[in-house]
Amino acid sequence: MFNFQQTFTLTWNTIKKNKLLFIGLVILQIILVAVISWTLVSYQIKILENSQGILQPLQGANYNTEQLQAGQPFLPEFGDVYSSYVKLKQNVTELVLWLLGFFLIGNGLLWVGTHQMYQKGGWKELAKRLGKYVALGVTMIALLAITLPLFLTKTITDAAAMGTVDVPVIGPLIIVGIAYYLFLIGVAHITLPWKETFSSIYRSGIKKIHHTIPVLLLNVIILAIPLYVIYDSVEKTLGGYTVLSILAFIILLVYTRMVWITSLRRSA
**HEC string for 194-253:** HHHHHHHHHHHHHHCHHHHHHHHHHHHHHHHHHHHHHHHHHHCCCHHHHHHHHHHHHHHH
Does residue 54 carry a pLDDT above 80?
Answer: no
Does residue 197 carry a pLDDT above 70?
Answer: yes
What's the predicted TM-score (pTM) here? 0.88
Q: Determine what percent of the chain is predicted with pLDDT higher than 70.
A: 85
Identify which has the larger pLDDT, 152 or 228: 228
Compute the average pLDDT of residues 1-28.
91
Sign of CA dihedral 77, 83, 87, 93: positive
Domain containing 91 equals: 16-112
For 19-59, where are the alpha helices, taking DSSP H only? 19-59
Long-range contacts made by residues 182-188, C-beta under 8 angstroms, separation at least 24?
182/140, 183/136, 183/137, 183/140, 184/216, 184/260, 185/212, 185/264, 186/136, 187/111, 187/133, 187/136, 187/137, 188/260, 188/261, 188/264, 188/265
Is 4 within a domain?
A: no
Of 144, 165, 197, the residue at which a domain comes to its end is 197
Tell me the C-alpha distance between 223 and 180, whole Å.
17
The pLDDT of residue 72 is 59
Tell me the C-alpha distance between 7 and 2, whole Å.
9
Does residue 31 carry a pLDDT above 90?
Answer: yes
Q: What is the pLDDT of residues 60-96, one digit of tens each?
A: 665 556 555 665 555 566 666 778 889 999 999 999 9
Cβ neighbours of 30 (radius 10 Å): 16
Compute the average pLDDT of residues 41-52.
92
Number of domains present in the structure of the chain: 3
The pLDDT of residue 238 is 74
CA 194 to chain centre: 24
Q: What is the pLDDT of residues 103-127, one digit of tens each?
A: 999 999 999 999 999 999 999 999 9
Q: 22 and 107: one domain?
A: yes
Please provide the average confidence, as pLDDT, over all residues in the chain: 88
Of 70, 97, 112, the residue at which a domain comes to its end is 112
Q: 129 and 215: one domain?
A: no
Q: 29 and 91: one domain?
A: yes
pLDDT band at residue 2 under the 50/70/90 scheme: low
Q: 252 and 212: one domain?
A: yes
Tell me the C-alpha distance between 244 and 234, whole Å.
12
The pLDDT of residue 3 is 73
The pLDDT of residue 248 is 95
Compute the average pLDDT of residues 21-34.
97
Tell me the C-alpha distance between 99 and 219, whole Å.
23
pLDDT band at residue 172 under the 50/70/90 scheme: confident
The pLDDT of residue 179 is 95
